[in-house]
């Protein structure tokens, strides 16, 4: 078991070792007794509770019921649900919390990672996207190609899509406000 005393899970602090408990459930019409684990925890507000081990480990329980009913409690709970979301990239499956600590990750905030998920369809890109720097991923050859193809009448929109850049960057390359050193756009005006 990876649950350790004094460790925090959201607003919970673990106060003791996990304890087994037996519960009754139905399986194909038969009554069966199953074993699970509960962990003694104390919420930030002081309330004490036995929390289901799996719910604690997976970030599904982060605080007592009373705190969960408050606005702050809801924000905390949402953050932990995001942090516990699993993502497979580079052949590994980890939670967003773990990815945020991964050296390949370009951000440290779980919320940022989570929000990127809505923007990108590549999981690797969610983790390693370097923001503004993505525009610099164009090679010199690609910049020249965009410049010349846009110059011979190819639509900025389709070029933007093909190279994964914004339409405004295509026009800035075209008019020489970006990468003029590579395209020689400045010379053209002379
Ligand atoms: Zn509480």
Q: What is the pLDDT of residues 45-77, one digit of tens each?
A: 999 999 999 888 888 899 999 999 999 888 888
How far away, in angstroms, is 66 Cα from ligand 1 center?
6
Q: Which of 112, 16, 45 is nearest to 97 (CA)?
A: 112
How far away, in angstroms, is 49 Cα from ligand 1 center?
10
Condensed to tens digits (0 to 9), the pLDDT of residues 145-168 reads: 999 999 999 999 999 888 888 888
Condensed to tens digits (0 to 9), the pLDDT of residues 110-119 reads: 888 888 887 7
% helix / strand / coil in the chain, to the nearest 5? 45, 20, 30
pTM of the shown model: 0.50
How far away, in angstroms, is 50 Cα from ligand 1 center?
13
How far away, in angstroms, is 11 Cα from ligand 1 center?
7
Ranges of each domain in the chain: 1-84, 85-129, 135-183
How far away, in angstroms, is 61 Cα from ligand 1 center?
11
Condensed to tens digits (0 to 9), the pLDDT of residues 73-129 reads: 888 888 888 888 899 999 999 999 889 888 888 776 888 888 888 778 788 888 888
């Amino acid at each position: 078991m990876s649950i350790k005393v004094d460790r925090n899970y959201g607003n919970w602090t673990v106060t003791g070792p996990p304890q087994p408990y037996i519960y009754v459930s139905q399986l194909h019409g038969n009554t069966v007794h199953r074993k699970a684990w509960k962990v003694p925890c104390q919420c930030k507000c002081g309330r004490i509770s036995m929390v289901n081990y799996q719910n604690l480990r997976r970030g599904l329980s982060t605080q007592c019921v009373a705190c969960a009913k408050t606005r702050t409690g809801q924000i905390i709970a949402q953050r932990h649900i995001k942090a516990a979301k699993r993502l497979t990239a580079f052949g590994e499956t980890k939670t967003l919390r773990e990815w945020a600590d991964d050296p390949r990750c370009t951000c440290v905030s779980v919320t940022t990672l989570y929000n990127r998920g809505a923007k990108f369809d590549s999981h690797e890109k969610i983790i390693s996207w370097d923001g503004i720097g993505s525009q610099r991923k164009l090679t010199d050859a690609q910049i020249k190609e965009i410049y010349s193809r846009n110059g011979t009448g190819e639509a900025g929109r389709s070029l933007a899509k093909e190279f994964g850049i914004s339409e405004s960057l295509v026009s800035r390359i075209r008019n020489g406000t970006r990468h003029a050193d590579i395209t020689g756009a400045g010379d053209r005006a002379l």
